[in-house]
Amino acid sequence: MRRLLLALMLLGLATPAGAEKLASTVSSSTVQITSSFDGAVLSLFGTIDSNTPGLAPTGPYNVIVVITGPLQDRVARLKTNNWGIWTNTDQVTFKQFPSFYDVLASGKLDNIATPDVLEAQNVLPIQQATSTATLGEGSTKAAEFGTELVRLMTQEGHFAVREDAIRFLSNTAYVAQVTLPSDVANGPFIAHTYLLKDKQLVADRSEGFTVRKTGFENFVFVASKQQPLLYGLVCVALALGTGWLAGVAFRR
């Protein structure tokens, strides 16, 4: 009996008395793309609680939310002008690279997290590039091509780092908004939340939502994937029919 009590006491000492936990949710679990889709804005709500019953969490806290879209293989190419002709002279392949990557924070990243925490969690967009490059993370060429790929994705509105996008409603409640562009990729999205205290990670949590086509757009998309030959023949027939109708209309 004494050994059991001693073991329970040691277990209690080994467990942090103020260990925190997160509860969060996304305003919509599914984003539907129709013919009139021009983007969407989702809200993410979260609260901070204590793992110890009866003990209130003590801050101050900071939060980082990373939204990751469907993973795709990407190729970044270098074009060189040789005697007036532009040709691809080098390239780097990025395996399972995010099609969408949005970093939301409650303050400047350097002020709320240590470099070790950011690197360990691959929070920064460039870390996503270097970690998925087929040349390896330590390659200079991977870093150069990855930087350009991130720059292009940022210009297209698919990558972003917003260090003032999370607002605390109270000491333990926060809200953030995620903006999806009109050409966002279809598939599963992950919202990973990191809770920080004194620049250290104390808790994390993931939420998921899905972006998918609906109606006629979904029918066309599915047909192009499942019946590519029939889809191509129908497209050719429609093009010929449209051209014939246009010729008849203008001849009159």
Q: Is the pLDDT of residue 18 over 70?
A: no
pLDDT digits (tens, 9 = 90+) for 98-132: 999 999 999 999 999 999 999 999 999 999 998 98
Q: Is the pLDDT of residue 226 over 60?
A: no
As a residue count, the chain comes to 252
Sheet holding 40-50, edge to edge: 20-26, 40-50, 173-180, 166-168
Answer yes or no: are the C-beta atoms of 193 and 24 closer than 8 Å.
Answer: yes
* Cα 186–Cα 184–Cα 69 angle in degrees, nearest 5: 65
Which among 25, 61, 39 has a CA at the least distance from the CA of 176? 25
Lowest mean per-residue pLDDT among 12-21, 146-155, 204-213: 12-21
DSSP state of 27: S
What would the mean pLDDT of 5-9 be, rounded to a whole number? 39
In one-letter notation, the amino acid at residue 155 is Q
What would the mean pLDDT of 220-246 be, rounded to a whole number? 64
Quote the pLDDT of residue 246: 66
Q: Is the pLDDT of residue 247 over 80?
A: no
Quote the pLDDT of residue 102: 96
Look at 138 and 182; give whichever has higher pLDDT: 182
pLDDT digits (tens, 9 = 90+) for 46-87: 999 987 777 778 879 999 999 999 999 998 888 787 777 777
Rounded to 10 degrees, the C-alpha dihedral 112/114/120/125 comes to 60
What would the mean pLDDT of 167-174 be, rounded to a whole number? 93
DSSP state of 217: H
> What CA–CA distance (Å, rounded) separates 54 from 80?
65
Rounded to 10 degrees, the C-alpha dihedral 105/111/116/121 comes to 0
Reduced to 3 states, what is the DSSP secondary structure of residue 129?
Answer: helix
The backbone torsions φ and ψ at residue 95, rounded to the nearest 5 degrees and listed phi first, read: -85, 135
CATH, domain range 18-213 = 2.60.40.3880
Q: Output the average pLDDT for the chain.
A: 82
**Cα separations (Å) of 190 from 25, 67, 89, 186, 244?**
12, 6, 35, 13, 47
What would the mean pLDDT of 29-44 be, rounded to a whole number? 85
Q: How confident is the model at residue 19 (pLDDT cuts 50, 70, 90)?
A: confident
Confidence (pTM): 0.76
Quote the pLDDT of residue 239: 75
